[in-house]
Amino acid sequence: MSTATLDTSSADGPSVFGLLGSPNAGKTTLFNALTGLRARVGNYPGVTVERREATLDLGGISATLIDLPGTYGLEPISADEAVVGDVLAGRVEGVDPVDGLIVVADACSLSRTLPFIGEALHLGRPVCVVLTMLDELAARGGQLDLERLEAALGVPVVGVVGHRGRGLDRLRSLLAAPGDWSSPAILPPSDRAERAGWADSILSTVIEVRAARHALTERVDRVVLHPFWGTLLFAAVMVTFFQLIFSAAGPAMDWIDGSIGSIAGAARATLPAGWMADLVADGLIAGVGSVVIFLPQILILFSLLYLLEDIGYMARAAFVIDRLMGRIGLEGRAFVALLSSYACAVPGIMATRTIPSPRDRLVTILVAPLMTCSARLPVYALLISAFVPETTVWGPIGLQGLVLLGLYVGGAAAALAVAALFKRTLIRGDGLPFAMELPTYRWPTLRVWASQVFESGWAFLRRAGTIILIASILLWVLLSFPRVEAPAHLDEQAAAAYSLEQSAAGRLGHAIEPAIAPLGFDWKIGVGLIASLAAREILVATLAQIYAAGSEEETDSLRDALRSDVRADGRPVFDAPTVAALLVFFVFALQCTSTIAIIKRETNSWRWPAFAFTYLFALAYGMSFVAHRLVAAFV
Amino acid sequence: MASTPPQDAPPNGTLDQIPRGDSVRVVGVDGADAIARRLDDLGLRVGVEVEVIRRAPLGDPTVFELHGYQLCLRRSESERVRVAEMTPPDVIGRER
């Protein structure tokens, strides 16, 4: 990480350059090629638009490079797009005014971008044009006269091949002296139609040979976008993708879990017994573990995501599924994020970064927690195995499996329904038309790919990790204090149950009992719900502790304890309506501080995580209530 | 936005109706709102040649090729782009 600060606004500070260009022009590749791994990533205030900048070393002179959000034109058509204009006008707090603009354009589609370059010349800042994808232009047989282009525009024009480093030396020396850049004698017309004419007249002298179609892309797309084979491939890629996130991360997560357990054990052995040892072992080390445990899934997800993105398949996958996603008001790219959320909402929400429309991205983030993540499975497994009879319904299909399937389908259906509702009411479209470029296929560059994956993992640790850590320690405090000595005649398990009931969480469980009674929940389930705010699967361990049923591995004894528990009037606590209500509650409720933390990180405000928690809690309570009544009426 | 097509090229449809494999020339974009501006920014300007490459398996969206790049648009946007058949001089003049 660079040590340079962000507020170097004085005139004699380092020069500030903005990278301007359309989403697929190769801006990010150029940014990475110029700056290496030193990007500072954040958000622009008020919007969910990512802000990336880095310090450039230009042989003794340093400069700041801002990677502006990709845009096709300078007349914004949404609040989020207005960020580009605001940064350029110096209206964004904490962002220095830009001393020079680097307009990045794909050499293969110069005729599209030239009017945009003309628009940028009107911004009144020194402009330098960088043409990317020159290697592809050559491969497609196209020829451009860069000198003529430079003469016609009146500003420096540099051709680069970002991932090979070609042309970067000339660009660096230009950046070292923005005062020396030439500027146009006459500005291009400011009227749209006239500017198009201006562009055409330049193009007629600059384009020597037009690029042919990319032969490889055309051949590959014949299969990849074929109505039948393309759909099949899409399904295969998505199943593999999901399978890898879901199962390949398992061994690494088990290993982390085991290591954290042994570190905690070692800490407990060295420290004198008491609350200090508990804090270190159960609070601090377990808290760190609850952060690190996400890394395998996040790294696998982003390795695959960026690989598919860099090759050029992501846009094609979105193309194949767009029609279906369009029905609920989202676009094709939201599919991958929702699918990833089946493994875990944390990487799923991080995957929404590939959705260009910030509104669509927000809606996807808000519904992602409804997808049935793997942390719900232990809860479902416990309740279903304890209370749903092992009867067969039809052929090999059993009732237990059907209930589990119903919970999965229910979550997904709820996510889609809520997304459609939000898009029609709260978060309407931002008016951005759906327009997506299909890039030509290219081999990914290892360095670029690795840096993207690294950046995602690091961003998670740094910005969501701290919140998760603090939340887990707070929950530990709630579950452990005040410490009341258990009566001496109780055995170890009963003592643990006793001290949990006396803890703040235990008292809170009692306090919320009237509120959750309509769902059939008693105070013990209440404590479980409070504890499972840390992570849903903690419900199982907490119930085990309350019922003094030994360790969570011994689920048989826990199952028996749950089955035999009775209320004051002799009815079982876990009767059919209560079990149904509890299952439904877990379908909807946002019982996961990590998800809350990642929503905070991705939307850059507490407003959206608060909203998500509230609406999902209201939904969970309402649907549980309905489930309780329905089952009570029919059973 | 120019709304009157050139006289020698009568408007004969909108971009969403053009069959796969055909090339057409843009004669105008309906409306003067933000979406019309964006379509213009994407290169759908009067006189530009557009080829229909393929439709998605479910019928929408469609991939078009223009300005040497491939753009994917839904019907709701492509139906705003008025196009005309390529006239013989267009076809001959294509190889510059």
Contact B68 A436 (CB under 8 A): no
CATH of the domain at B41: 2.30.30.90
Q: Which residue of A has its CA nearest to B73?
A: A435
Residues in chain B: 96
B38–A106 CB contact, under 8 Å: no
Query: Across the interface, which of B39, B59, B68 has its CB nearest the CB of A108?
Result: B68
CA atoms within 13 A on the CB side of A465: 17
CATH class of A15-212: alpha beta
pLDDT tens digits for range B31-63: 888 889 999 999 999 999 999 999 998 888 999
- For residue A136, the number of C-alpha atoms closer than 13 Å in the C-beta half-sphere is 25
Q: What is the mean pLDDT of chain B?
A: 83
The full DSSP string for A577-611 is HHHHHHHHHHHH----HHHHHHHHHHHTSSHHHHH
Nearest partner of A524 among A591, A589, A575, A574, judged by Cα: A574
Task: Report yes or no: B20 at the A interface, CB cutoff 8 Å.
Answer: no
Task: Tell me if B63 and A207 make a contact (CB, 8 A cut-off).
Answer: no
Q: In the sheet that A61-67 helps form, which strands lie side by side, from edge to edge?
A: A40-43, A50-58, A61-67, A15-21, A100-106, A127-132, A157-159
Task: Note the helical H segments in A388-491.
Answer: 399-424, 446-459, 465-480
Q: What is the pLDDT of residues A170-215, one digit of tens each?
A: 999 999 988 889 999 889 998 999 999 999 999 999 998 999 999 9
Comparing A624 with A282, which gets the higher pLDDT?
A624
In tens, the pLDDT along A373-431 reads 878 888 888 888 889 888 887 877 788 888 888 998 899 999 999 999 998 887 776 66
* Structure confidence by residue, pLDDT tens digits, A152-161: 999 999 999 8
The Cα of A287 is separated from the nearest Cα of chain B by a number of Å equal to: 46
Amino acid at A217: T
Q: Give the strand order in the sheet containing A435-438.
A: A435-438, B69-73, B62-66, B49-55, B23-29, B81-85
Share of chain A above pLDDT 70, in %: 94
What are the boundaries of each domain within chain A? 15-212, 460-634
- Domain assignment present for residue B65? The answer is yes
Is residue A182 within 8 Å of residue A154, measured between CB atoms? yes
Minimum-distance CB partner of B70 among A72, A431, A437: A437
Note down the domain range covering B75. Answer: 15-93
B9 inside domain: no
Task: Name the pairing type of β-strands A143-144 and A435-438.
Answer: unpaired
A172 min Cα distance to partner chain B (Å): 29
How many whole angstroms separate alpha carbon B47 and alpha carbon B93? 13
Mean pLDDT value of segment A493-502: 78
Q: Decide: helix, strand or coil at residue A20.
A: strand
Q: Which of A72, A204, A320 sits opposite B38 (nearest CB)?
A: A72
Q: How confident is the model at residue B88 (pLDDT cuts 50, 70, 90)?
A: low
Task: Please name the member of B39, B61, B69 whose beta carbon is closest to the beta carbon of A322.
Answer: B61
Is residue A592 over pLDDT 80? Answer: yes
Min Cα–Cα distance to chain A from B75, Å: 10
Q: Which ipTM score applies to this complex? A: 0.84
Using the CB atoms, write b or e for A446-466: b if 16+ within 10 Å: eebbebbbebbbebbbebbbe
Say how many domains are in chain B. 1
Is B4 part of any domain?
Answer: no
The answer to whether B42 contacts A116, with C-beta atoms less than 8 Å apart, is no
Stronger pLDDT, A71 or A542, i.e. the higher one: A71
Shortest Cα–Cα distance, A167 to chain B (Å) = 23
**β-bridge partners, A17:** A65, A100
Closest-approach residue (CA) in chain A for B2:
A193
Separation between Cα atoms, residue A268 and residue A264, nearest integer Å: 6
**Amino acid identity, position A505:** A
Quick one: pLDDT at residue A563?
86
Q: Is residue B49 part of a domain?
A: yes
